Amino acid sequence: MWPPSPVVELNPTVAVAMANGPRQALHMVDELAASGRLSGSHLLPGVRGELLTRLGRTTEARAELELAARPGRNARGRSVPLRKAAALP
């Protein structure tokens, strides 16, 4: 059996955020981060940055979004989280 992809691992957190709000989903994302199963994935800091933004934690959100745009991704993949980070107050 193949290990779950980062997308499969993060999908439930997005659903929880939509149904129950970002706080519970952020807890789930933090547990995934602590497990190390998604280390190196740009998706984890991207989702975490979005949740932190929704919670009004803009300094932390900006740092996560900038991490999601780390080198190694294509220009489009880097520009979206960087644009979101720059738009934060």
Full-model pTM: 0.85
Please provide residue 71's backbone torsions phi and psi, each rounded to the nearest 5 degrees.
-55, 155
> What CA–CA distances, in Å, run from 20 to 12, 23, 41?
12, 8, 25
How far is it between the farthest Cα atoms of the chain? 44
Helix (H) or strand (E) holding 68: helix 58-68
Compute the distance between CA of residue 44 and CA of residue 10 in angstroms, rounded to an integer.
8
Tens of pLDDT, residue by residue over 28-83, are 999 989 988 888 888 899 999 999 999 999 999 999 999 988 866 677 778 888 89
Q: Which two tokens stand for residue 75?
A: 């220009």
